């Protein structure tokens, strides 16, 4: 097995790629949660979610560079702003269309996405921005672990910790709290939930808030990790995160985590070993294949139409 | 139908009349800017063609197709490559591009049209992105980001088209062809099957309509019209580049039909006629860096239309009422024929 | 009288909850057959199974002598089907393996894997498209086999390509191995999917609702499902879809045949609208019709497909006594046209007046059958409708 040997010789490179892939996967998972939760509750693909992620990155950037806030303060403020923004988005764009056909809501979502992206383009310009290193906590750029040729930076650890932590919190919210129960009830039947005394709109707003907070957070983390913030970042990342959500089974939070991880690893390995030009193509291909062959995702449940 | 006032002109005459007026347009003296106006109008008519093609899928069949620009790009590159490598005449390229578009439409549609609406939208979106990626990266075929320059202009009976009015006539001719196809199909067994699918898939199935078959047909026809538009575009612009076929174009075309009225042929054309010149006005008025954000307006249009007038300027229902009026005229004339002599 | 519909031991369950259990019933030509039962008894589920919107979990449905949802009863047939599945599975998986016999190391070459994947895809969709396992499915398998052999021979004689992968600097074998490894689960997955999808079709195969309508069984819906944005006339013409033939080209060029067909369909649609009393409303949109008119339009649309069997799902729901009386007359006239009618109805008066034979469903089981007189006095029926007090009133 000649090729395999060569592959093993390159194992440190491979492992490094794996670490990078997992980090990327964590970020995808954070964004994917927003898609999954909103889809689970109101069966809408919230195209504008990618834009919230982009806004998160830009808001944090503005706070750090223009307002000179400390990074962690900016981090928390951005998350709060993003969740407010999510609620606003739902209130302005989607709530009036709750009873409308799904096509209308989907078109609105696309319209919002385009609108926000171009708004960002007008405000911040099309140049790629990056967080100035000196304004960030110095620890981020230091390596945390060095094993031979593999390095894991503190930033990567920070990203992974935050991802896992928030996923755990989210899982707790959905399965152990009253709001979570209400969310699950609404995802089954909106009308009956309303009749049972659940404030449907309030719960949907909450869903948007949580999803957007996660999305905004992912935006900051990616801005740090790749050191690049630009108005169209939400569009590609959004689609990839959606692919991750679909891969895991849309409407399913652990699924989003799994899907994000798998997609992140596949993307980094694919870019490394197959073709870096088709880096984005890999996510699209994975997404198309999953939708075609197993639309319910890796751990989702199939759904049927009612007659 | 008796409630509505009948148009003064017989409905069959309106379209030819508009075409006649359009044919006279290049000869209106507008001074130095007349070529510019003609180019804008040619763009508008090209987008009418594209919008009419896209309209078949979301408008007639009720499925959101976000990958339309993929077929546009396929058509453009088919046209460009055939022109450069084989020096084929435009009149061969046009059907070949349409065929290639239809082929890809079937290849993409056959497996994906089983999906529910949202997933279908996402898959078509992925497809169009993949098309751009392939065009960008397969340098040996498409020269990738360097673009494809030097596409020869079309010729007719040995005469090479170069002037703006010639291209305007050519695109009008294409529009006439597409309009012929679309209106004929609208009022046929095929069109009714599409409308049924848009209305209620389960009921359509129970009326004996094979969903996949009719959806794939719609998708293939839509794709081939898109590819035809692309073929014209390549021959007109003489240079194509992968960035011309990005997702934004799909959104723009979708915006045209949402604005004009999904499912209504006249609405679709009206949408293109209003929004495309508007874009050009924006190009003239706005500074360069703001012009790149023009899609903001399209996004806003989509949102506002869905909120306040989801059926568009000329709703689908109006188009159906027009069809009913046509049926009424048909029935009346048949009765008259029976009783008359 | 010939039997037009036969249902044998039909069961349908939704994730453990059984909506129908061991239903046996029969309809003879020219009869009006009624199905009654309290809410949630499974009446609509039964209709959905008949019109193939649902696929029954077990049992058989025969329309005339055509099976709509059969169950392979004989063990021999099951064995044949199982063998076919194994063969199908092998024919999918073996492409790369087979090639490696001819081309050394083909298993690890990018081109073979990609080509193999492509072929797998083609096969996958071809087989998925199969409605049931017919003789030409075997033909297809052999065709694929031949293609494999030809390709392997063709590839065996020459080098696959330069030793670099798609213009990158990576050595080919390097890339090939992960690709092959990645392809393996894919082919396994395809194979499994293929095995389950045709398996479902083999052991209880699918006929789409459209095919059922083409066979001559039309239906209406409990919650009206019209094409609300189309004109009344077009609704009926869509119902006549399967009686017409013209496709794209004929429609594009409006051939004489197409025009004659359209004219005929239009005339017939108008006749049907007159039959149900909607002739004056032919050119308005279906949206604008009153509730009772919409119900009648649904019947006209169903009749337009020239059915031999008409399934009516609660046609009198929400009608006043006058309208139900009209409806009874209409259904009698439909029967006089030679159409067998199967009808679900809550309104006992309508049912007792109309039906030749009545089946009673309760909790997914058939609890009684017989003429209206028999049903009226059947203690089990009375208990289901009045007694017990276990379930909500109908």
Find out whether B73 and B147 touch, Cβ atoms under 8 Å: no
Q: Which of B53-57, B284-288, C232-236, C388-392 has the weakest average pLDDT?
A: C388-392
Closest alpha carbon to B225 in B110, B337, B100: B100
DSSP class of residue B240 equals B
Q: Which residue has the higher pLDDT, C98 or C374?
A: C374
Q: What is the pLDDT along chain A (307 residues), one digit of tens a residue?
A: 445 555 445 566 777 888 888 888 888 888 988 888 888 888 888 888 999 999 999 999 998 888 888 888 888 999 999 999 999 999 988 888 888 887 888 889 889 998 998 888 888 888 888 887 777 777 777 777 777 677 788 888 888 888 889 888 888 888 888 888 888 888 888 888 888 888 888 889 999 999 999 999 999 888 888 888 888 888 888 888 888 888 888 777 888 888 888 888 888 877 777 667 777 788 888 888 787 777 777 776 554 443 4
* Model pLDDT, residue A24: 87
pLDDT tens readout for residues C170-190: 444 333 334 434 444 444 444
3 state SS of C305 = coil
Of B126, B247, B302, the CB nearest to A287: B126
Question: Which residue would you say has higher pLDDT here, C305 or B5?
Answer: C305
Instruction: List the structure tokens of B200.
Output: 């209620």
From A303's Cα to the closest Cα of chain C, the distance in A is 11
Q: Do B111 and C125 touch (CB under 8 A)?
A: yes
**What's the token pair of residue B101?**
């578009």
Distance CA A171, CA A165 (A): 10
pLDDT at A78 (0 to 100): 93
With 0-12 / 13-18 / 19 or more C-beta atoms within 10 angstroms meaning exposed / middle / buried, residue A89 is buried
Cβ(A255)–Cβ(A245) below 8 Å? yes
CB contact under 8 A, C177 and A4: yes
- At residue B45, the pLDDT reads 92
Residue B97 tokens read as 């591009």
Q: Which residue has the tokens 């197409």?
A: C258
* Statement: residue C196 has pLDDT above 70: no
pLDDT of residue B233: 93
User: How far apart are alpha carbons C353 and C339 in whole angstroms?
Assistant: 18
Chain C residues within an 8 Å CB radius of A4 = 177
Residue with tokens 């009008």: B172
pLDDT tens per residue, range B23-69: 777 777 776 677 788 888 899 999 999 999 999 999 999 888 888 99
Model confidence over C275-334: pLDDT tens digits? Answer: 998 888 888 899 898 888 899 999 999 999 999 999 999 888 888 888 888 888 999 999
Where is mean pLDDT largest: A152-156, B290-294, C90-94?
Answer: A152-156
pLDDT at C119: 58
**Which residue has 């039964």 as its token pair?**
C46
Instruction: Provide φ and ψ at C324, rounded to 5°.
Output: -65, -35
Enumerate the residues of chain C whose CB falls inside 8 A of the CB of residue B110.
125
**Taking CB atoms and an 8 Å cutoff, what residues of chain C touch B189?**
241, 244, 246-247, 251, 261-262
Of B111, B180, B203, the CB nearest to C227: B203
Rounded mean pLDDT of B167-172? 89
What's the confidence (pLDDT) of residue C57? 78
Kind of pairing, strands C309-313 and C217-219? parallel
Give the alpha-carbon dihedral of B277, B282, B284, B285, to 10 degrees: 140
Query: C348-376: string of b/e by CB count within 10 Å (b at 16+)?
Result: bebbbebbebbbbbbbbbbbbbeebeebe
Ramachandran quadrant class, B333 (left: phi over 0; alpha: psi -120 to 50; beta: rest): alpha
Q: What is the pLDDT of residues C197-220, one digit of tens each?
A: 455 445 445 678 888 898 899 999
All structural domains of chain B: 11-24+35-339 (1.10.3470)
Q: What is the ipTM of this complex?
A: 0.85
Strands A143-147 and A150-153: antiparallel
Q: What is the pLDDT of residue C148?
A: 52
Residue burial C215-244, b: 16+ Cβ < 10 Å; e: rest: bbbbbbbeebbbbbbbbbbbbbbbbbbbbb
| Dist. CA A95–CA A86, nearest whole Å | 12
Angle at B285 (CA atoms; ends B41, B73), nearest 5 degrees: 45
Q: What is the pLDDT of residue C341?
A: 93
In this predicted structure, the answer to whether residue B197 has a pLDDT above a threshold of 90 is: yes
C335-349 per-position pLDDT tens digit: 998 899 999 987 777
Higher pLDDT, B288 or B204: B204
| C-alpha separations of A45 from A180, A234, B209, B240 in Å | 20, 15, 29, 33
- Whether C92 shows a pLDDT value over 70: the answer reads no
Phi, psi of C238 (to 5 degrees): -65, -35
Pairwise CA distance, residues A301 & A188, whole Å = 13
Say if the Cβ atoms of C266 and B320 lie within 8 Å.
no
Measured CB to CB, residues of chain B less than 8 Å from chain A are 58, 62, 64, 66, 111-112, 115, 117-119, 121-123, 125-127, 129-130, 133-134, 136-137, 202, 247-248, 251, 254-255, 258, 289-290, 292-296, 298-303, 306-307, 310
Residue A226, Cβ density class (10 Å: 0-12 exposed, 13-18 middle, ≥19 buried): middle
Domains of chain C: 3-67+210-216+307-385 (3.40.50.300), 75-204 (no CATH)
CA B175 – CA C171 distance, rounded (Å): 51
Average pLDDT of chain B? 84
Residue whose entry in the numeric block shows the structure tokens 């309009």: B179
**CB nearest to A108's CB, from B202, B247, B303:** B303
Q: Which helix (H) or strand (E) holds C340?
A: strand C340-344
Q: Chains A and C: how many Cβ contacts under 8 Å?
A: 28
Determine the length of chain A: 307
Separation between Cα atoms, residue A75 and residue B287, nearest integer Å: 34
Could you count the other beta carbons within 10 Å of the beta carbon of residue B145?
Answer: 12
Residue of B114, B116, B80, B112 whose CA lies nearest to B96: B80
Within 8 A by CB and 6+ apart from C206, the residues are: C52, C55, C131, C132, C200
The reported pLDDT for the residue numbered B52 is: 94
Q: Considering only residues 11 to 70 of chain C, which have any Cβ-Cβ distance to chain A shorter than 8 Å? A: 44, 48, 53-54
**CB-based contact C37:C361 (threshold 8 Å):** yes
Query: Which residues of chain A neighbour C166 with C-beta distances below 8 Å?
Result: 275
pLDDT tens sequence across B172-194: 999 999 999 999 999 899 999 99
Beta carbons of C252 and B210 less than 8 Å apart: no
Higher per-residue confidence, A90 vs B290: A90
- Neighbouring CB atoms inside 10 A of C2's CB total 9
Nearest CA in chain C to B220: C248
Who wins on pLDDT, A221 or C136? A221
- Those residues whose C-beta lies under 8 Å from the C-beta of residue C348, and which sit 6 or more positions away, are C36
For residues B69 and B151, the model is more confident at B69
3-state secondary structure of B15: helix
A3/chain C closest Cα distance in angstroms: 5
From residue A225, alpha-carbon distances to A23, A155, A161, A287, C148 in Å are 9, 7, 14, 24, 48
Integer angstrom CA distances of residue A15 from A145, A269, A278: 13, 10, 21
High-pLDDT (> 70) share of chain B, %: 94
CA pair distance C347, A181, nearest whole angstrom:
40
Residue C146: band (very low, low, confident or very high) from pLDDT cuts 50, 70, 90: low
Which pLDDT score, from 0 to 100, does residue B69 have? 93
State the pLDDT confidence band at B300, using cuts at 50, 70 and 90. Answer: confident
Selecting from C108, C178, C189 the residue whose C-beta is nearest the C-beta of A273 gives C178
């Amino acid at each position: 097995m000649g090729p395999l040997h060569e592959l093993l010789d390159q194992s440190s490179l491979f492992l490094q790629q794996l670490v990078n892939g997992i980090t990327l996967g964590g970020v995808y998972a954070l964004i994917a949660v927003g898609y999954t939760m909103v889809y689970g509750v109101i069966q809408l693909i919230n195209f504008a979610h990618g834009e919230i992620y982009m806004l998160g990155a830009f808001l944090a950037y503005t706070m750090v560079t223009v307002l000179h806030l400390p990074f962690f303060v900016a981090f928390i403020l951005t998350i709060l702003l993003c969740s407010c923004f999510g609620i606003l988005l739902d209130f302005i764009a989607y709530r009036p269309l709750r009873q409308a056909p799904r096509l209308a809501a989907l078109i609105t979502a696309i319209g919002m996405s385009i609108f926000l992206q171009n708004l960002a383009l007008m405000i911040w310009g099309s140049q790629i921005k990056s967080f100035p290193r000196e304004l960030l906590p110095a620890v981020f750029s230091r390596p945390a672990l060095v094993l031979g040729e593999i390095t894991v930076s503190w930033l990567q650890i920070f990203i992974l910790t935050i991802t896992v932590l928030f996923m755990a919190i989210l899982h707790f919210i959905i399965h152990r709290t009253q709001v979570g129960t209400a969310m699950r009830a609404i995802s089954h039947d909106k009308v009956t939930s309303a009749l049972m005394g659940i404030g449907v709109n309030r719960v949907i707003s909450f869903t948007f808030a949580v999803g957007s907070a996660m999305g905004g957070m992912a935006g900051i983390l990616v801005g740090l990790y790749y050191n690049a913030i630009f108005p169209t970042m939400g569009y590609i990342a959004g689609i990839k995160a959606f692919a991750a959500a679909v891969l895991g089974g849309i409407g399913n939070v652990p699924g989003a985590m799994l899907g994000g991880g798998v997609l992140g690893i596949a993307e980094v390995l694919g870019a490394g070993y197959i073709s870096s030009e088709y880096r984005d193509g890999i996510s699209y291909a994975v997404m198309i294949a999953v939708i075609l062959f197993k639309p319910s995702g890796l751990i989702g449940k199939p759904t049927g139409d009612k007659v | 139908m008796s409630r509505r006032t009948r148009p003064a002109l017989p409905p069959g005459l309106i379209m030819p009349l508009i075409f006649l007026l359009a044919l006279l347009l290049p000869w209106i003296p507008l001074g130095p800017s007349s070529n510019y106006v003609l180019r804008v109008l040619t763009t508008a008519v090209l987008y009418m063609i594209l919008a009419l093609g896209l309209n078949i899928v979301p408008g007639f069949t009720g499925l959101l197709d976000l990958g339309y620009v993929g077929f546009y790009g396929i058509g453009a590159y088919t046209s460009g490559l055939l022109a450069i490598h084989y020096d084929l005449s435009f009149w061969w390229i046009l059907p070949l591009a349409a065929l290639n578009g239809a082929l890809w439409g079937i290849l993409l549609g056959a497996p994906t049209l089983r999906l529910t609406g949202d997933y279908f939208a996402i898959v078509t979106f992925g497809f169009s992105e993949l098309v751009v990626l392939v065009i960008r990266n397969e340098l040996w075929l498409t020269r990738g980001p360097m673009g494809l320059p030097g596409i020869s202009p079309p010729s007719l009976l040995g005469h090479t088209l170069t002037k703006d009015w010639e291209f305007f006539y050519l695109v009008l001719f294409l529009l006439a062809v597409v309009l012929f196809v679309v209106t004929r199909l609208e009022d046929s067994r095929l069109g009714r099957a599409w409308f049924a699918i848009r209305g209620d898939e389960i009921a359509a199935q129970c009326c004996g309509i094979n969903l996949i078959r009719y959806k794939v047909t719609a998708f293939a026809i839509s794709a081939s019209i898109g590819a035809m538009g692309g073929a014209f575009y390549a021959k007109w612009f003489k240079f194509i580049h992968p960035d011309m076929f990005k997702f934004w174009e799909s959104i723009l075309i979708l915006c045209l039909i949402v604005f004009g009225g999904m499912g209504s042929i006249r609405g679709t054309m009206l949408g293109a006629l209003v929004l495309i010149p508007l874009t050009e006005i924006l190009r003239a008025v706005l500074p360069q860096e703001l012009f790149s954000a023009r899609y903001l307006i399209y996004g806003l249009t989509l949102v506002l239309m869905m909120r306040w007038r989801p059926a568009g300027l000329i709703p689908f229902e109006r188009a159906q009422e027009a069809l009913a009026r046509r049926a009424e005229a048909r029935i009346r004339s048949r009765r008259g024929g029976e009783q008359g002599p | 009288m010939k039997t037009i519909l036969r249902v044998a031991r039909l069961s349908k369950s939704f994730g453990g909850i059984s909506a129908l259990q061991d239903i046996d019933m029969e309809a003879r030509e020219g009869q009006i057959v009624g199905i009654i039962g309290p809410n949630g008894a499974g009446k609509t589920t039964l209709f959905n199974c008949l019109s193939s919107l649902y696929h029954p979990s077990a049992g058989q449905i025969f329309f005339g002598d055509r099976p709509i949802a059969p169950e392979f009863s004989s063990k021999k047939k099951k064995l044949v089907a199982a063998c076919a599945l194994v063969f199908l599975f092998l024919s999918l998986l073996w492409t790369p393996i087979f090639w490696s016999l001819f081309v050394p190391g083909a298993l690890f070459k990018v081109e073979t894997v990609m080509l193999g994947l492509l072929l797998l895809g083609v096969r996958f969709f071809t087989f998925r498209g199969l409605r049931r396992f017919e003789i030409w499915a075997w033909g297809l398998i052999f065709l694929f086999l031949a293609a494999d052999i030809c390709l392997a021979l063709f590839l065996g004689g020459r080098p696959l390509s330069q030793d670099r992968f798609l213009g990158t600097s990576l050595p080919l074998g390097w890339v090939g191995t992960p690709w092959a490894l990645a392809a393996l689960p894919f082919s396994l997955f395809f194979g499994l999917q293929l095995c389950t999808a045709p398996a479902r079709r083999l052991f209880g195969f699918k006929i789409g609702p459209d095919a059922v309508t083409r066979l001559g069984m039309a239906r209406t819906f409990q919650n009206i499902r019209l094409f609300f944005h189309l004109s009344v006339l077009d609704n009926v013409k869509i119902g006549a879809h399967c009686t017409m033939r013209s496709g794209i080209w004929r429609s594009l060029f409006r051939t004489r045949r197409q025009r004659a067909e359209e004219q005929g369909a239009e005339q017939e649609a108008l006749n049907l609208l007159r039959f149900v009393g909607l002739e004056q409303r032919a050119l308005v949109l279906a949206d604008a019709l009153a509730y009772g008119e919409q119900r009648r339009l649904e019947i006209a649309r169903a009749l337009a497909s020239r059915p031999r069997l008409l399934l009516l799902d609660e046609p009198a729901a929400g009608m006043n006594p006058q309208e139900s009386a009209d409806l009874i007359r209409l259904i009698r006239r439909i029967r006089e046209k030679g159409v067998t009618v199967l009808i679900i109805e809550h309104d006992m008066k309508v049912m007792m007046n109309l039906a030749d034979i009545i089946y009673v469903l309760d909790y997914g089981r058939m609890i009684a059958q017989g003429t209206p007189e028999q049903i009226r006095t059947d203690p089990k029926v009375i208990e289901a409708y009045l007694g017990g007090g276990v379930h909500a009133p109908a």
